[in-house]
Amino acid sequence: MSADASPLDRTEALSATVVDHPFVERVYQKMAGVYDYTFGPTLHPGRLDAIRRMAIHPGDRVLEVGVGTGINLSLYPRMCQITGIDLSSKMLEKAQARIVSKGLSHCRVSEMNAEQLAFPDGWFDVVYAPYVISVVPDPVKVAREMYRVCRPGGRVVILNHFKSANRWLSKLEVAISPMTVHIGFKADLDLDGFLSQAELTPISIEKVNVPRMWSLVTCVKR
């Protein structure tokens, strides 16, 4: 890799599969009606572990990047302020309906590109990306934006599937990644490379869900 490679070039090297924003938006617009049924129960244990890792305090401001249908919103304590953003308008319609039906007055959602967060530096106490880093076009840029809007001492929490350390399984993940993007994720995103390029230093990396193919990465902003 050349020293003057662009951030996007470096990010593409993390996966054999490249996607753009229109593709990602189309995938999640189509999945809006079925997401809660297909990815709800199977990935729920990881969501609970992530909430625990956030160590939310009364009055904390929490940003959820890729809020989708708002499936996480009822899990947060009501004594904090939750902001959710997503690129898919149909997903956000589901999230807003959930906020209204469940009376989640501490939650709000808006349409936004995670690579260009419209928030000031250090605005949030916790910044969380559940099951989204492996589908965005530039995961490094998203992670850097997450870090930027997190306050010093705050937490950046990433819940995601990353390529296996097992040689044979990782080869399979590379092979199937061009297909898995059509259901919402790259199967072959490299964790070590991602953390290095995003300049994130985790305080913990835990395997979650069953089977334990997903990683819960927790960082504290310096």
**pLDDT (0 to 100) of residue 10:** 47
Tally of residues, the chain: 222
Measured in whole angstroms, the distance separating CA 22 from the mean position of its chain's CA atoms is 18
Question: How many CA atoms does the CB half-sphere of 39 hold within 13 Å?
Answer: 22
What domain range includes position 13?
Answer: 7-220
- What's the first-to-final CA gap in the chain, in angstroms? 28
Which H, E and C letters describe 178-212, residue by residue? HHHHHHCCCCCCCHHHHHHHHCCCEEEEEEECCCC
φ, ψ for residue 30, nearest 5 deg? -70, -35
Residue 1 maps to a domain: no
Residue 116 maps to a domain: yes
Q: Structure tokens of 146?
A: 């997450």
Question: How many CA atoms does the CB half-sphere of 152 hold within 13 Å?
Answer: 1
Looking up residue 146, the CATH number of its domain turns out to be 3.40.50.150
**pLDDT (0 to 100) of residue 17:** 78
Using the structure block, give the residue that is written with the tokens 């996480």: 72
Alpha helices in the chain (DSSP H): 7-12, 21-31, 35-38, 40-54, 89-102, 139-149, 167-180, 191-198
Q: How do beta strands 214-220 and 202-208 pair?
A: antiparallel
Residue 2 maps to a domain: no
**pLDDT (0 to 100) of residue 3:** 36
Paired strand residues for 82: 62, 107
Residue spans of the chain under pLDDT 70: 1-13
**pLDDT (0 to 100) of residue 13:** 59
Residue 124 maps to a domain: yes
Q: How many domains does the chain have?
A: 1
**pLDDT (0 to 100) of residue 12:** 46
pTM: 0.89
Find all residues with CB under 8 Å of 3, minimum gap 6, and list them: none
Residue 87 maps to a domain: yes
Tell me 87's DSSP state: S
What CA–CA distance (Å, rounded) separates 219 from 203?
5
